[in-house]
């Protein structure tokens, strides 16, 4: 009796197809894994934020941790906006001494940073355009400022440093009081402001603006 070679070859073909499919899935998974960001989590026992020299501690030098902060993002503010005018404050906090303002000036996205009364302003070259947009401002540890619209960088600049002390005035959305940037208060925002997000590593010092 001859063996049924058709069944054998069909079974082999099916096995090869299954192996090929599993290999493709494995490669896809590996490719997806490689696109994920690298995250380093540092856990320290009984370490307060004010004990680092990057946070203003003059007694304990922490140069390695400080370098991570200088090369990373120290401050991020973002919001979804749909403006109906070309001028207006999106978010502001602080005053003429220390603070920041994220606003529109002549239709262009702008960010003002005050540190020890010194003003740094970054303004996009092109108008924002009509419609709804996700806007974001980032302040890095070395003072680099980056503005983006819908995930695309639109402006960058360099501040001499970070905000020198914790902002003494409250956070305002849609207006500013007092003025932080080059505008006249209250500089009301006309339109919609939604999903405001602020991430900040605060300095341990408290001062009044």
- Does the CA dihedral 146-149-150-152 come out positive or negative? negative
For the chain, the DSSP string reads: ----HHHHHHHHHHHHHHHHHHHHHHHHHHHHHHTSPP------TT--GGGSGGGT-SSS--HHHHHHHHHSEEEEEEEEEEESSS-EEEEEEE-SSSEEEEEEETTEEEEEEEETTEEEEEE-SS---SS-EEEEEEEETTSEEEEEETTEEEEEEE-SSS-SSB--SPEEES--SS--SSS-TT----EEEEEEEEEE---S-B---
For residue range 35-57, what is the model confidence (pLDDT) as tens digits? Answer: 666 666 777 777 765 677 766 67
Domain boundaries in the chain? 73-200
Task: Using the predicted structure, report yes or no on whether residue 21 has a pLDDT greater than 50.
Answer: no
pLDDT at 25: 46
pLDDT band of residue 184 (cuts 50, 70, 90) is very high
For residue range 79-110, what is the model confidence (pLDDT) as tens digits? Answer: 999 999 999 999 999 887 888 999 999 999 99
Question: pTM for this structure?
Answer: 0.65
Lowest mean pLDDT among 24-33, 49-58, 116-125: 24-33
Report the top-level CATH class of 73-200.
mainly beta
The answer to whether the bond into 178 is cis (omega within 30° of 0) is yes
Buried b (16+ CB within 10 A) or exposed e, 32-51: eeeeeeeeeeeeeeeeeeee
């Amino acid at each position: 009796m001859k063996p049924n070679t058709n069944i054998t070859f069909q079974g082999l073909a099916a096995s090869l197809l299954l192996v090929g499919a599993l290999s493709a899935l494995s490669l896809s998974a590996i490719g997806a894994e490689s696109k994920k960001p690298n995250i380093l989590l540092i856990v320290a026992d009984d370490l307060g934020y004010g004990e680092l020299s990057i946070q203003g501690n003059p007694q304990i030098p922490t140069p390695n941790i400080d370098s991570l902060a200088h090369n990373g993002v120290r401050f991020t503010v973002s919001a979804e906006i749909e403006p109906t005018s070309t001028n207006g404050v999106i978010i502001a906090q602080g005053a003429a001494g220390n603070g920041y303002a994220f606003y529109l000036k002549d239709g262009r996205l702008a960010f003002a940073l005050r540190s020890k009364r010194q003003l740094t302003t970054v303004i996009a070259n092109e108008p924002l355009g009509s419609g709804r947009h996700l806007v974001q401002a980032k302040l890095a540890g070395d003072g680099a400022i980056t503005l983006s619209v819908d995930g695309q960088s639109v402006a960058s600049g360099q501040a001499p440093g970070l905000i020198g002390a914790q902002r003494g005035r409250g956070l305002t959305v849609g207006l500013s009081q007092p003025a932080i940037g080059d505008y006249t208060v209250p500089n009301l925002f006309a339109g919609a402001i939604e999903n405001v997000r602020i991430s900040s590593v605060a300095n341990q010092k408290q001062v009044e603006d």
